[in-house]
Amino acid sequence: QNSLSEIGIQYLSTKLSLNNSALKWLDLESTDLNDNCAAYLAIMLKTNKSITGLWLSNNRIGYHGVEMLALALTYYNTTLKHLDLENNQGINDSCLNYLIDMLAQNRSLKEVYLNDCQLS
């Protein structure tokens, strides 16, 4: 596991928000991300048009992180095709409304992984 600080994620998200990157996949699996980090990534997803795959499994993302990511993907992002949120123990049934809305509204998402979360 490699930890990334919130400042590191904020910096990365700011750079990727500029939309001059050719980066297609961003793998942040097992990097100790929390809800604040997910919020920075959500802000980036509102403007980034290059990333098609985002791996966030095995982190500490919970309700507020899912809320921010889902809202960005529901109303702004049209390029992400793959979202991996597996094994984030803070993702539970309280997140379902955001996830359902995201899946109903976003036409670009083809794969969303939620295995080993706390969903019933």
**What phi and psi, each to the nearest 5 degrees, are found at residue 92?**
-135, -170
- Which residue, 40, 26, 29, is CA-closest to 2? 29
Binned at pLDDT 50, 70 and 90, residue 4 comes out as confident
Whether 119 maps to a domain, the answer reads no
- In a domain? residue 45: yes
Its pTM stands at: 0.95
The confidence band for 1, taking pLDDT boundaries of 50, 70 and 90, is low
pLDDT at 80 over 90: yes
CATH of the domain at 81: 3.80.10.10
Give the model's confidence band at 33: pLDDT under 50 very low, under 70 low, under 90 confident, else very high.
very high
**Contact present, 75 and 45 (Cβ < 8 Å):** no
User: Rounded to whole angstroms, what are the CA distances from 88 to 22, 48, 103?
Assistant: 28, 24, 18
Domain span at 52: 6-15+26-113
Residue 32 falls inside a structural domain: yes
Look at the chain and report how many structural domains it folds into: 1
Does 94 map to a domain? yes
Amino acid at 56: L
